[in-house]
Amino acid sequence: MTQSIAATAKSESKPISTLVPPHGSAELKPLLLTGDAHKQSLKLASTLPQILLSSRERGDLIMLGIGGFTPLDGFMNKADWQGVVDDMRLQTGANAGLFWPIPITLSAPKVTADTLNKGDKVALVAENGEIMGVLTVEETYTIDKEHECQQVFTTTDPEHPGVQQVQSQDEVNIAGSVEVLSEGEFPMLYPEIYKTPAETRQILADKGWKTVAAFQTRNPMHRSHEYLAKIAIEICDGVLVHSLLGALKPGDIPAEVRQEAIKTLIDNYFKADTVIQAGYPLDMRYAGPREALLHALFRQNYGCSHLIVGRDHAGVGDYYGAFDAQTIFEKLDKDDLITQPLKIDWTFWCNACSAMASSKTCPHDASQHVKVSGTKLRKALSEDEEVPDNFSRPEVLDILRSYYANIAREERAEVKLEGASAV
């Protein structure tokens, strides 16, 4: 008999009841097979028709596998897709009525979908040919892509990277439960920081932490990020610096460079045993407020009681207001999420204070403020401009400059200052 990764962790671990429970469930529900069950499913998968996963779908499948998307058991059917897009609620089965902010769906070409019937099994395959899982078909259906984009991203602009993801999906969605067979390259590429929700919960439990603030980042941490994390440490037992390891848009800094920069910052500028560095396997959707809600939801599965939500969380360009990702939490019912936002105002370096400050704490005129953003930092570095010390720590800048020094100027993606990042 094969145990799930969650059951194995539970049987070998100390009680973790002091942490927040998973979303919509008393325990994690990982769908990753191990042992004989894995071997048998992989053997079957090699005989099945295949569906090629996009990068986003692959990341979603791995999150289903490790329990990050507890309590989902696979890719959403049409009723759940509609309920999530329009009302942020699942509509079917045991999870009917449960809060969920962004659809988790799988697409396939119509020529493939037309051959599938309810109960059929298909292999889910990554672009490199690796068999990632097996799906048992529940339903095939089409969607209004523009409607999904408008509801989730608040725009149908084809320049929006999340809109591009949806519009590039194949014609038909395939719903069904999944057996997950692989975590991809993440355990091998990031052995020190890639952790499943069960592993993360065990670390938090071993530390005796009850309140944990997740810090979501797709950037190296600059001085404002550092300040946000330290505010959270004053409030909570500790902070989980939780970095996205999946695909980003052109111009963003790759995960291995970000991880080195973040580790250097933590080692040099945070008190020991107040911060845990970890990573997760999703791609960015750049959905702004809706993605902030998803970030809070799956951080609950990782054991976090809070999510730090600052300026322009999960935003891109000028599609969202600076604090839309904070105000969207106010629209939720009180039982929708246990993990709550730590809402923090504009943070900046104040020349008059000679310190980091926020709009709530600094009395000085805006002319004294140096507002820092990941986009501003990437733009300066990509254009070989000087970066003031009050933007980022020198040890971090050394790592980032070394990265850009190995990329020819003409090969660097253009970094635009738009929306909140341009202020």
Tell me: pLDDT of 150 over 70. Answer: yes
Structural contact between residues 124 and 48, judged by C-beta atoms closer than 8 angstroms: no
Percent of the chain with pLDDT over 90: 80
Structural contact between residues 315 and 292, judged by C-beta atoms closer than 8 angstroms: no
Q: Which distant-in-sequence residues (6+ apart) come within 8 Å of 67 by Cβ? A: 5, 6, 22, 28, 29, 30, 31, 196, 197, 198, 301
| Confidence (pLDDT) at 423 | 45
Q: Give the residue among 133, 141, 123 at the shortest CA–CA distance from 77.
A: 141
Q: Give the residue among 363, 357, 335, 336 at the shortest CA–CA distance from 345.
A: 357
Which domains, from first to last, does the chain contain?
31-184 (3.10.400.10), 192-422 (3.40.50.620)
How far apart CA 373 and CA 419 sit, in angstroms, is 11
Encode pLDDT of 255-268 as tens digits.
899 999 999 999 99
Rounded average pLDDT over 274-279: 97
Tell me: pLDDT of 422 over 80. Answer: no
Exposed / middle / buried, residue 126 (Cβ in 10 Å: 0-12, 13-18, 19+): buried
Q: Between 85 and 411, name the one with better pLDDT.
A: 85
Tell me: pLDDT of 15 over 70. Answer: no
Encode pLDDT of 83-110 as tens digits.
999 999 999 999 999 999 999 999 999 9
The pLDDT confidence band at residue 416, using thresholds 50, 70 and 90, is low
How far apart CA 31 and CA 180 sit, in angstroms, is 6
Q: Give the residue among 385, 378, 382 at the shortest CA–CA distance from 406.
A: 382
| Confidence (pLDDT) at 17 | 57
Catalytic residue among 201, 219, 223, 311: 219
The pLDDT confidence band at residue 6, using thresholds 50, 70 and 90, is very low
Catalytic residue among 56, 58, 218, 290: 218
Tell me: pLDDT of 409 over 80. Answer: no
Encode pLDDT of 240-252 as tens digits.
999 999 987 777 7
Strand ranges in 220-339 using DSSP code E only, listed in sequence order:
238-244, 275-280, 306-309
DSSP bridge partners of 134: 123, 179
| Confidence (pLDDT) at 254 | 86
Rounded average pLDDT over 28-53: 98
Q: Between 315 and 410, name the one with better pLDDT.
A: 315
Decide if 117 is catalytic: no
Tell me: pLDDT of 69 over 90. Answer: yes
Q: Between 423 and 167, name the one with better pLDDT.
A: 167
Q: What is the mean pLDDT of the chain?
A: 92
Residue 27's identity, in one-letter code, is E
Structural contact between residues 265 and 275, judged by C-beta atoms closer than 8 angstroms: no
Encode pLDDT of 200-234 as tens digits.
999 999 999 999 999 999 888 999 999 999 999 99
Rounded average pLDDT over 306-328: 94
Tell me: pLDDT of 8 over 50. Answer: no
| Confidence (pLDDT) at 372 | 76
Decide if 406 is catalytic: no
Encode pLDDT of 177-186 as tens digits.
999 999 999 9
Encode pLDDT of 194-206 as tens digits.
999 999 999 999 9
Structural contact between residues 93 and 66, judged by C-beta atoms closer than 8 angstroms: no
